[in-house]
Chains A and B, each alone.
Chain A
Amino acid sequence: MVFEMKHITKTYDSVVANDDVSLHLNRGEILSIVGENGAGKSTIMKILYGLERPDCGEIYVNGKLCRFHDPSDAMAAGIGMVQQHFMLFEQMTVAENIVFKNELRKGPFMDMKATVDTVRQISERYELKIDPLARIADCPVGLRQRVEILKILYQNAEIIIFDEPSAVLTPLEVDALLETIRGLAKAGKSIVLITHKLQEVMAVSDRVYVMRQGKVVAERMAGETDIAELAMLMVGHPLASYEIEPPKPGATLLETKGLKLVENGREVLSDVSLHVNAGEIVGIAGVSGNGQSELIRCITGLEKAMGGQVLVGGKDMTNRSVREIRDAGLAHISEDRYVWGSAPEGSLEENVLMARQDEMPYSRRGIMRPKAIREYAARLIGDFNVKASSPAQKMRELSGGNAQKLIVAREMSLDTPVLICCEPTRGIDIGAMEAIHSRMLQRRQDGAAILLVSSELTEIMSLSDRIYVIFEGRIVGEFQRGSMDDKHLGLLMVGGSIEHGQ
């Protein structure tokens, strides 16, 4: 047993984040902790890593009772954590990032040669390929995560905690990560994986803890359980599977013709033509970074296309302002809920009101009417089951899933003919995901044209009536529901073609 946590309890104000949690990790084992957002899995790992201190309970590392005041204590005890948000110095090189704080020196000077050699050695020993001299700013997300892992290995950590490591990765990068995790365990490291993606849990773990509402509700050996059981344990009740009615497509409500965009000398969109009809959900499948974000920004007016046309409801809205495009009948659940989707410092009322501030009865001749606004906010919060203490609460105080539900509520309640859903369920738990999916299907039944962009292939496959595959800014395939399996889609997504196999 490399570590053991006994009877840990942690409360924030009145919320019990961890309630008498006990768990342990064996040497060379891959342990998963699963649970919905807010189930307390991140808190318990923050306590182990010294970022939070428990109210009571004990931590033993290698049989010794430990008290961690900050992460450097945990690091000294051989515990490292790959944070969900990378902690890297963008303008510096990979090697510099890895050795920071434990630099190799010659007197007062940096020993760059030894640094690069050492980093290269570690990277070879653990088969984590990397160019020590590349700048972080030029590295894709998957490589950045690799740097984080190497950083921890450089510090000789024996226990490595991964906090939602796949949340930011593309499907290919996820496979590589899982391979890395297996490799590390084989090399004798002990791994804790915090996640709510059950496929990944089943793919790599030896043992699983399920947490719900701050408590450990179950412990399973991976071989003795399956996704369905884990999902049920996480949510606390069996999941409903939705019946999808056949589509009744109507007129074309959203169309792009030959959209083109060049960024930093790279053609990020070339000749993108697609259409979405009333009463259908159209998915865009692709590895993230292949032009999806740019496509949506061009359609919604956040970016100016350099060529081509965007038609909303048959009207040419190319490169019009966001306001004009929205007024033409388009709502947009944006990719990043805090950058485009909401004002984190604003209240829930203010966030709910956005886009409707000029409408009766919420304002009259430029004067806001607080009572009407409050009622409207309270109604949406209730309808969409957003967990909030009051409509006056700040947006950023909501958990990710609840913030997303509120944004979905706002955009869907506009009842526009066209709805754009960009990563509608990124980083949120199963309960909230179900709710958002059923709302989307409801809007489809009501005759809305829905364009769905998601890095989760399963989400695209299960919801879409039609799927476009995008690769390097081009549409490389179009498929009807049922005529495609995920293997073929995956192949197209990485630039392969069906005729020629790989």
Chain B
Amino acid sequence: MTYLAQVINSTIREITPILLVALCAGVCSKVQVFNIALEGTLLMSAFFAFLTHYFLHNIFLSIAVAMVVAMGMTLIMSFFIVRLKGQPMIVGMALNTFARGFTTFLLSVIFKTKGAVNPSDLKGLTKFDLPGIKQIPFLSTVFGSLTVIDYLAFVMAIVMFVIMYRTVIGFRLRALGINKSAASSLGINVPRYQILATTLSGSMIGLAGCLLSLGRNAMFIQDISGARGYVALAANNLCKGHPLGAMISSALFGFTTALARSLQGTAIRQQLLQCIPYIATIAAMAFYNAYAKAKSKRRNRGL
């Protein structure tokens, strides 16, 4: 029972960073900016959140810095793609490679290490307990040691849904993503909308970065993002950019990651376990496409 509660708890903590990144990916895909720089953005914001916290011991400042760094990365990404008409694939790969090299470089310059920094005297994000939950045996483990940002991730999914599907600005963003020339023929400055929307949504990656480096203890490991950016991209693809759907698809990937982790130490080879989330990604995509195909085929036969 406690084991189950722990698995659920660790699932939730795997879901939230993916969800936040997937929400950003959702905005990007709705305005037709193909953002694969998510991974590098996540890595950079995780690193700078840690760095700020390490030197200044100020958790709020760290979160702010992470958000600014993430927005900066996203701004560069969308500026290159939208204004300079760069190939999204190339721009994204360049930023990801840069982020990886830059964080590794700073890690070795500042901390004289190539692996992990795990200062024991540094506390991570404050844990937030739902009022009264401590007394309930099972739920106290399920919702144990979650941070405000973890809860915020789910709130953001709902907020993003309201913004994208109920407000005027969200309506315009979705519309211009469907047909750019139609929007600009009515005098909408499409590139400006695209850049602003992607950049602002990038701040959510900053929050995800904080969860990675400050979520449990304050620590930074090389490549701490661990392909979560790509997983989030897949999660977003699965829910077609819908913020509420992102909760479900992120949960799928969060669960497989947690599953892989909980099976560590069993007879299964660790390398194989580490593949599980990625195999799940491919399987989910394949299954989803097969399903969509079968659906349209059934419609064709329906006569």
Contact = CB atoms under 8 A, between A and B. Distances in A.
B300 A263 contact: yes
A187 interface: no
Interface residues of B, number: 23
B187 A71 contact: yes
B296 interface: yes
A87 B183 CA distance: 8
User: Secondary structure at chain B's binding surface: helix, strand, loop or mixed?
Assistant: helix
Interface stretch (B19-27, B142-150, B162-170): B162-170
A83 B166 CA distance: 29
Nearest to A306: B300
B178 A90 contact: yes
Contacts of A100: 171-172, 175, 182-183, 186
Given A101-B188, A108-B169, A109-B168, A87 B182 contact: yes
Interface stretch (A11-19, A264-272, A336-344, A427-435): A264-272
A103 B168 contact: yes
Interface in B258-275: none
A264 B182 contact: no
Contact of A266 (B166, B178, B186, B303): B303
B58 interface: no
A59 B159 CA distance: 48
A89 B175 CA distance: 6
Contact of B178 (A89, A110, A263): A89
A164 B175 CA distance: 26
A110 B188 contact: no
Contact of B299 (A91, A109, A264): A264
Contact of A265 (B168, B169, B187, B299): B299
Interface string B275-303: 00000000000000000000010011111
B301 A265 contact: yes
Given A101-B186, A101-B187, A267-B303, A87 B171 contact: no
B181 interface: yes
B299 A96 contact: no
B303 A265 contact: yes
Nearest to A102: B186
Contacts of B172: 100-101, 103
B166 A265 contact: no
A109 B188 CA distance: 19
Contact of A92 (B175, B186, B299): B175
A72 B175 contact: no
B171 A96 contact: yes
A40 B155 CA distance: 57
A262 B300 contact: yes
A88 interface: yes
Given A96-B171, A100-B172, A264 B185 contact: no
A411 B172 CA distance: 45
B179 interface: yes
Contact of A110 (B166, B179, B183): B166
Contacts of A303: none
A101 B175 CA distance: 10
Contacts of B183: 100-101
A83 B185 contact: yes
A90 B303 contact: no
A264 B182 CA distance: 28
Contact of B167 (A83, A89, A110): A110
A92 B178 contact: yes
A108 B168 contact: yes
B284 to A, nearest CB: 24
A110 to B, nearest CB: 6
A103 B168 CA distance: 7
Contacts of B296: 264
A226 to B, nearest CB: 37
12 contacts: A71-B185, A72-B186, A87-B182, A88-B179, A89-B179, A92-B174, A101-B183, A108-B169, A262-B301, A264-B299, A265-B301, A266-B303
- Leading 5 A-B pairs by shortest Cβ distance: A72-B187, A87-B182, A265-B302, A101-B186, A89-B178
Given A100-B172, A101-B172, A109-B166, 11 more contacts: A87-B182, A89-B175, A90-B179, A91-B178, A92-B175, A100-B186, A108-B167, A108-B169, A109-B167, A110-B167, A265-B303
